[in-house]
Amino acid sequence: MVDVAQLVEPRLVMPVVAGSSPVVHPICIAHIEELYCLGYIDEGSSMFKDYNLTNISIPLKVLFTSYLCVVGIGYIMATAQILFTHGMADGKFGLSIDDIVYSYYGNRSGTVLENKLDGSMKENASDADRLAIIKWVHVGADEVSFKQRGINTIFENNCLACHSTEAGMGLPDFSHFETIKNYAQVDTGASFSSLTRVSHIHLFGISFIFFFVGLIFVMATHVSTLLKSLAVSMPFVSQLMDISSWWLTKLDPMFAWVVIIGGTGMGIAFAFMWVVSIYEMWLMPHDDG
Ligand code: HEC
């Protein structure tokens, strides 16, 4: 039989009312004991008490490094993707405030079709063809002149290779006049439905990536608790800033700069955690703290 004194002996004691005798909940004791045994809790130490990036086993280092390399490449690809889509929104390479305003608020001086033909779709048609499409948009973009002016053939020859169901690229299908017509309206930027879609994918996906990058990084030995806490929380804060500013920019272009700050903050935190983690695992001498 288990002695009561033995049960009460461990560390967790909860006084219920000040002055009354202390009460210990048996479930708490069992649970806390388990955590002590597993080495998760110990007075004044962290979850990874005896482990840090310099002294973990080689297979674990290889696992962490492989993960970091793949998400690192993913990050570079994501940046390239931003440069090629949003970065080209104003027709010039490189990300600017204009690009962000055009992407989320829209370039309200023109239609989506015109803006794309002057921006990221510029390379897909000759100047003459682009001009013909833009003129057609200006005369009202109706179906009769679509055929009369030969705009249908321009689309067939230059756009359907990517913009059709057969191409399977998930792009708007320009083999239907109605779809083209929708893009010949004033450009109000990203639609609310596309914003909700992209926002939820980013919130789930990016937090997942930063959870693991952060978990690896907190095992670093030569970074202060304050700096560690800042570095692991910064991507989450930046991400919230970034995503909320997409929505705010849709309402008012002045928020475009928050998109840049959010994105930069995330990039800096990622690069810092990545470099420190790799450096400690492979270049620092074994250190048992
Ligand atoms: C090589 C493939 C390719 C060709 C050819 C192409 N596009 Fe695109 N188009 C894309 C991609 C990829 C996107 C999405 C990225 C972006 O917006 O830049 C896109 C986006 C667009 C959009 C914006 C769609 C949206 O939902 O916001 C318009 C409008 C557009 N293209 C028009 C055209 C026109 C007009 C042509 C023909 C002159 C054309 N595209 C030819 C690949 C192509």
User: How far apart are the C-alpha atoms of 181 and 205, rounded to whole Å?
Assistant: 34
Nearest CA residue ID for atom 12, ligand 1: 171
Which span out of 45-49, 97-101, 163-167 was modeled with the highest average pLDDT? 163-167
48's tokens:
């990874």
In ligand 1, the atom with minimum distance to the C-alpha of 129 is 38
Share of the chain above pLDDT 90, in %: 54
Q: How far apart are CA 85 and CA 100, in angstroms?
A: 10
Nearest CA to ligand 1 atom 16: 85
Residue 13 confidence (pLDDT) above 80:
no
Of all protein residues, the one whose alpha carbon is nearest to atom 5 of ligand 1 is: 159
Q: How many helices and strands (H and E) does the chain possess?
A: 12, 2
Instruction: Report in angstroms the alpha-carbon separations of 260 from 73, 138, 245.
Output: 21, 34, 9
Tens digits of per-residue pLDDT, 240-256? 999 999 999 988 888 98
Express each pLDDT in 34-80 by its tens digit.
555 454 444 444 556 678 999 999 999 999 999 999 999 999 999 89
Q: Which of 9-23, 116-130, 178-192 is modeled with the greatest confidence?
A: 116-130
Helix (H, G, I), strand (E, B) or coil at 23: strand
Cβ of 113 closer than 6 Å to ligand 1, yes or no, is yes
Q: Which residues have CB under 8 Å from 284's CB, separation 6+? A: 53, 54, 221, 222
Cα torsion through 155, 158, 159, 160, rounded to 10: 80
Rg (CA), the chain: 28
Report CA 184 to chain centroid distance, whole Å: 30
Closest ligand 1 atom to Cα of 169: 12
**In 3D, which of 26, 44, 1, 3 has the Cα closest to residue 12?**
26
Per DSSP bridges, beta strands 14-15 and 22-23 are antiparallel
Question: How buried is 134 (Cβ within 10 angstroms: 0-12 exposed, 13-18 middle, 19+ buried)?
Answer: middle
* Site of tokens 């321009």: 154
Ligand 1 in reach of 183 Cβ (< 6 A): yes
What is the helix (H) or strand (E) element at residue 220, kind and residue range?
none
Contacts of 72 (CB under 8 A, 6+ apart): 274
Query: pLDDT digit string (tens) for 186-240?
Result: 888 888 888 999 899 999 999 999 999 999 999 999 899 999 999 999 999 999 9
How confident is the model over 59-69, as pLDDT tens digits? 999 999 999 99
Spell out where the chain has E strands: 14-15, 22-23
Alpha carbon distances (Å) from 42 to 12, 30, 36, 49, 56:
13, 15, 6, 8, 19
Scanning 85-122, the segments in alpha helix (DSSP H) are 97-104, 112-118
Q: Is 116 in the pocket of ligand 1 (CB under 6 A)?
A: yes
C-alpha 121 – ligand 1 centre gap (Å): 6
Closest CA to 234 of 255, 258, 262: 262
